[in-house]
Amino acid sequence: MVTDFGHLAVIFAFLACFYAAGAAAYGAVRNDDRFVQSGRLALFLTLPLIFIGALGLWYALITHDFGVQYVANVSSRSTPLFFRITALWGSQNGSLLFWCLIMAAFVAAAMAKRWDVDKPLLPWVTAVMALVLAFFLFLTLFLANPFVRTDFPPEDGNGLNPLLRHPGMIIHPPMLYAGYTGLLVPFAFAIASLITRRTDNLWLQVSRRWTLVGWAFLTAGLALGGRWAHDVLGWGGYWGWDPSENKPLITWLIATAFLHSAMIQERRGMFKNWNVFLIMLTFASMFFGTAFIRSGLLTSVHAFAASDIGPYFMVAMVVMLMACAWLWLTRLDTLKSERALDSAFSREGIFLLQNVLFLSAAFTVFIGTIFPIVSEALTGERVTVGPPFFDQTVGPQLMALVLLMGVAPLLAWRKASARAVLQQSLAPLVFAAAVVIGLALGGMSKPLPLVGFGIAAYTLAQTVMEYVRGVRARVQATGESIFLALWQLVERNQQRYGGYLVHLGVVLLAIGALGKGFYGYDVIRTVNLNESFSVGGYTFTYRGIRPVACEFSDCQTVQALLLMQAPDGSLTAMFPSRDHYPEQQHTATIPYTAGHFNEEVYVILAGWERGGAVASFQVYVNPLINWIWVGSAVMIVGFLVAFWRAPEPEFAPVRGRVTRLARA
């Protein structure tokens, strides 16, 4: 009964979306604010309605209602309560409902905000959001319904996919969903601005913080996905250029380009046309990637099984792109820049170059990701593009972006002085040269990573110098202590110095990627019981395998014991293991990690014979990989600094009658 009531609530949410879109559009055309406010209220109500639907499915999962097909597919009586709750997004049908719930939360937050000067955009923002949410609810109700019941309920369910029983994978999907759905808000504001033919920056200023929130969730989702892959998949790394990884990366790259370009429009009134194009492209990339992953067209470590929703996604994306293109092309006269680019050697010029690199990297990832589908359509044979292609094509572009991060803050608006830039770059260049020379003397002779470490060192030093210059100026002007001056500096310029903190995180992440990518290695060794083998400066002695209690009741675990002697003589016991799930016919390789912060030793049990008398191990040595996790955390802290207590933009008052929501 509770689950069926939840199903009914989702149906009402679907109907409310259509009413909201129609009422808001009618109110805008008729200039009748009563209909606009009625549509706004209807769209706001979709959040509690979809939440009731989610509660209904959660109730079925918690109470083992295997009469609901979704519950039988993703849960079992032995599944712990926590994983029964998170099973809501454990498969296609439930994850779509959860997607709708998060999207409805962003929509409700947008509807609940104060609509003062931006009220002319309200009807069309409401209509756009309502139609997009209605599309996802349509998929949930008619093509991937998680509330469908079976006439012959099984006594027990299949249990949750073993790969999803990890903290990173539990948090990773909600973060990505929030990132994707959060980008609906700036997209809706952009479309509303085009429909109303506004020539100002209102849509950009109002939606700036929404874009930043969506970007931050995407960043966190990518980082958590990398950590999950590192801990569960036995890759020995964090990134495999899998389609499921590439999809959010493409959206992240385009959204990052938009965030940088938006600053130019706000400061100089330039790139208006470009920014509208970027936010449309950002939202389209979300649609495209989601369509391919959820349709099962792309092979991935956690892609969804083949389903019927792919064609609907593609049709919706084509309709959306055609509508956006028509709006964009018919409003070009309202998107003219207020100023021209005075000089390529300026902050505007360097931001434009960054945008080109961001889009170029995104396009490269896109081509490599869809190439198997294209090759199969053209030749009948699926050709897979491997990580070396991405490493050799995308890697240099990303390192060029890291370099531009260090140069951009030095350039003045309109036109920069080469002499001034060189003077301010002198100390960071000296630091970078010292780092490169030190690494070369230490035995690192490969030219490409040396260049990469030099770029990272330069940008790191240059970014730190931005803080040093600001603090020094405040200390001289106010006599404050260094720490108080730093606090006041960041508090008064949150967006600027929060952005610099994000840049620092990117540099640290790049350092980790360079260390792992160029100096990491792995070997496979097969040894007899009590036999030793060496990898690098580490010596491993195999002491046998044994069955141990599994963390979950539906699996069987075999654990190996290795004694690792580090170069300094210290001993560490390592316990790589393998979990076998008979019901799901799945085996998970659980690695064991040791070493120290700057060099991780990652060992997996590859197999064994004759009851453990012979065993095979794959050993990865991952230099600097932990800096990837540190850099990701610093990026999120930078977002919090930029977002925390940031003042809302001020606008000139708009003349005209404003009807209150309560009065409507």
pLDDT for the residue 654: 39
Spatial contact of 658 and 119, defined as CB atoms under 8 Å apart = yes
Calculate the alpha carbon distances from 234 to 558, 577, 617, 619, 621 in Å: 16, 11, 12, 10, 13
Residue 219: which of 641, 643, 638 has the closest Cα?
638
Question: Could you please report the per-residue DSSP string of 593-631?
Answer: EEEETTEEEEEEEEEEEGGGTEEEEEEEEEETTHHHHHH
Q: Which segment of 41-55, 220-234, 420-434, 504-518 scores lowest on mean pLDDT?
A: 220-234
Count, residues in the chain: 664
Rounded mean pLDDT, 255-262: 93
The Cα–Cα gap between 164 and 497 comes to 37
Q: Which segment of 6-20, 245-259, 291-305 scores lowest on mean pLDDT?
A: 291-305
**Three-class SS of residue 305?**
coil
| 140 or 346, which is more confident | 140
| 482 or 301, which is more confident | 482
Which residues neighbour 216 within 8 Å (Cβ) at sequence distance 6 or greater? Answer: 179, 636, 639, 643
Predicted confidence (pLDDT) at residue 166 exceeds the cutoff of 80: no
The Cα–Cα gap between 302 and 304 comes to 6
φ and ψ of 9, to 5 deg: -65, -40
The Cα–Cα gap between 425 and 431 comes to 10
Quote the DSSP letter at residue 113. Answer: S
Which residues neighbour 430 within 8 Å (Cβ) at sequence distance 6 or greater? Answer: none
Which residues neighbour 483 within 8 Å (Cβ) at sequence distance 6 or greater? Answer: none
- What band does 164 get if pLDDT is binned at 50, 70 and 90? confident
What type of residue is 423?
Answer: Q
Spatial contact of 272 and 265, defined as CB atoms under 8 Å apart = yes
Quote the DSSP letter at residue 343. Answer: -
* Percent of the chain's residues with pLDDT above 70: 95
Question: Quick one: which H or E segment has residue 37?
Answer: helix 33-44
Rounded mean pLDDT, 470-495: 89
Average pLDDT over the chain, rounded to whole?
Answer: 88
pLDDT for the residue 623: 95
| 290 or 140, which is more confident | 140
Q: Which segment of 211-215, 217-221, 420-424, 616-620 scores lowest on mean pLDDT?
A: 420-424
The Cα–Cα gap between 491 and 474 comes to 13
Q: How far apart are the first and last CA of the chain?
A: 35
Angle at 496 between CA 474 and CA 219, to 5 degrees: 140
Question: Could you please report the per-residue DSSP string of 354-406?
Answer: HHHHHHHHHHHHHHHHHHHHHHHHHHSS--PPPHHHHHHHHHHHHHHHHHHHH
The Cα–Cα gap between 463 and 335 comes to 34
* Percent of the chain's residues with pLDDT above 90: 58
The Cα–Cα gap between 183 and 258 comes to 11
pLDDT for the residue 652: 40
* Percentages of the chain per state (helix, strand, coil), in multiples of 5: 65, 10, 25
Predicted confidence (pLDDT) at residue 253 exceeds the cutoff of 70: yes
pLDDT for the residue 655: 36
Helices (H), 233-346: 243-268, 272-295, 309-330
Predicted confidence (pLDDT) at residue 219 exceeds the cutoff of 80: yes
Which residues in 243-266 are b (16+ Cβ under 10 Å) and which e?
A: bbbbbbbbbbbbbbbbbbbbbbbe
- What band does 628 get if pLDDT is binned at 50, 70 and 90? very high
pLDDT for the residue 650: 39
Q: At what angle do helices 387-407 and 347-379 cross, to 10 degrees?
A: 170
The Cα–Cα gap between 74 and 386 comes to 31
**Tokens at residue 367, please?**
């081509």
Rounded mean pLDDT, 405-426: 86
Residue 54: which of 42, 66, 46 has the closest Cα?
46
pLDDT for the residue 304: 55
pLDDT for the residue 305: 52
pLDDT tens profile 304-346: 555 678 788 888 888 988 999 999 999 888 888 877 777 888 8
What type of residue is 396?
Answer: P
What type of residue is 442?
Answer: G
pLDDT for the residue 651: 39
**Three-class SS of residue 556?**
strand
Domain coordinates in residue numbering, the chain: 1-164, 166-337+345-405, 406-519+634-642, 521-623
The Cα–Cα gap between 620 and 600 comes to 8
Predicted confidence (pLDDT) at residue 291 exceeds the cutoff of 90: no
pLDDT tens profile 114-136: 888 888 999 999 999 999 999 99
Confidence (pTM): 0.91
The Cα–Cα gap between 606 and 211 comes to 44
Residue 620: which of 541, 519, 513 has the closest Cα?
519
Rounded mean pLDDT, 395-404: 95
Quote the DSSP letter at residue 649. Answer: P
Predicted confidence (pLDDT) at residue 295 exceeds the cutoff of 70: no
State the CB neighbour count (10 A cutoff) for residue 432: 22
φ and ψ of 653, to 5 deg: -65, 145
pLDDT for the residue 91: 86
How many CA atoms are closer than 13 Å to the CA of 291, on its beta-carbon side?
Answer: 17
pLDDT for the residue 663: 37
- What band does 296 get if pLDDT is binned at 50, 70 and 90? low
Spatial contact of 351 and 274, defined as CB atoms under 8 Å apart = no
Predicted confidence (pLDDT) at residue 33 exceeds the cutoff of 50: yes
Predicted confidence (pLDDT) at residue 646 exceeds the cutoff of 70: no
pLDDT for the residue 660: 35
